[in-house]
Amino acid sequence: MHACPLFGLDIATVSFREAVAHLDVILTTDGGAAKVVVTPNCDQIVKLARDPELLQRYREADLVFADGFPLVMASRLLHGRRGCPERVTGADLFPALCQVVAGREGRVFLLGGRPGQETELRQALQRRYPGVTAEVFSPSLSFRHNSAEAAEAVERVNRFRPQLTFACLGMPKQELWALGYRHQLATKLICCFGAAFEFDLGLARRAPRLLQAIGLEWLWRLMGHPRRLGRRYLIDDPYFALLLLRELRQRR
């Protein structure tokens, strides 16, 4: 899969349709360790820039797709036509991959959600995607990638043996868990998609399509959760512009 170097990562330069087709192939391929998918946005790029050790670990992911619209624009600015043609978001990949697995009457495991929410989420997934057999583990809010709960998550996945596993714990918990245990997990694909399942199952409302298309989905989220997301979007994320300037200087 073609990729371009950007902010220390090799970001896949593919369309959404091409990304789904590639992941579909992985879901039907036998053997080898599970493949890990990450979808960085501006907030994650800033966090990675401030934590070199986390960046080094993040680079171990097999597939890196540009979730944030500014990443797409940055790739085009730096690489022209060889940059990313469009966003490939976890929120869009989640339903697309569930549909792929449902068509084969396969199994999906979801690691995420609030404690005690497992039954509700499992039933919601199976209602929305007839043909899917789902299992859910919603760990505590204090989940750590090297904890007893993390080991329990591995055990549950291996007992269920899903083709597709979603790690939806937020960054960096989900990535550290997926990359740390990939060789032990009896699954083909591990997707680190944050809150994607909440949008798909109607637990949270996603921005209108128009705002998504023009790169203002962040504004919709900020308006919905100003206290929780204010620092991220108004203080931390502007640092992304400085990172982009640094990339431009390095290219020159």
Q: Could you tell me which residues come within 8 angstroms of residue 153 by beta carbon, excluding any fewer than 6 positions away?
A: 111, 137, 139, 177, 181
Q: How confident is the model over 145-170, as pLDDT tens digits? A: 999 999 999 999 999 999 999 999 99
CA distances from 238 to 42, 86, 241 (A): 9, 22, 6
Where is average pLDDT lowest: 18-32, 78-92, 101-115, 228-242? 228-242
**Residue range 217-223: mean pLDDT, rounded:** 65
CA angle 211, 214, 217 (to 5 degrees): 40
What is the pLDDT confidence band of residue 233, given thresholds at 50, 70 and 90? Answer: low
β-pair partners for 165: 109, 190
CA distances from 218 to 122, 225, 233 (A): 29, 11, 8
Give 80-134 as a DSSP string. GGGS-SS---HHHHHHHHHHHHHHTT-EEEEEES-TT-HHHHHHHHHHHSTT-EE
The structure tokens 């549909």 sit at 99
β-pair partners for 189: 35, 164
Q: How confident is the model over 96-119, as pLDDT tens digits? A: 999 999 999 999 999 999 999 999
Where is average pLDDT lowest: 77-86, 109-118, 150-159, 199-208? 199-208
pLDDT in the model for residue 209: 75
**Residue range 200-211: mean pLDDT, rounded:** 74
**Residue range 191-216: mean pLDDT, rounded:** 79
What is the pLDDT confidence band of residue 230, given thresholds at 50, 70 and 90? Answer: low
Q: Is the pLDDT of residue 251 over 80?
A: no
What CA–CA distance (Å, rounded) separates 54 from 233? 21
What is the pLDDT confidence band of residue 247, given thresholds at 50, 70 and 90? Answer: confident
Q: How confident is the model over 44-58, as pLDDT tens digits? A: 999 999 999 999 999
What CA–CA distance (Å, rounded) separates 47 from 42? 9
Secondary structure of residue 63 in the 3-state scheme: strand
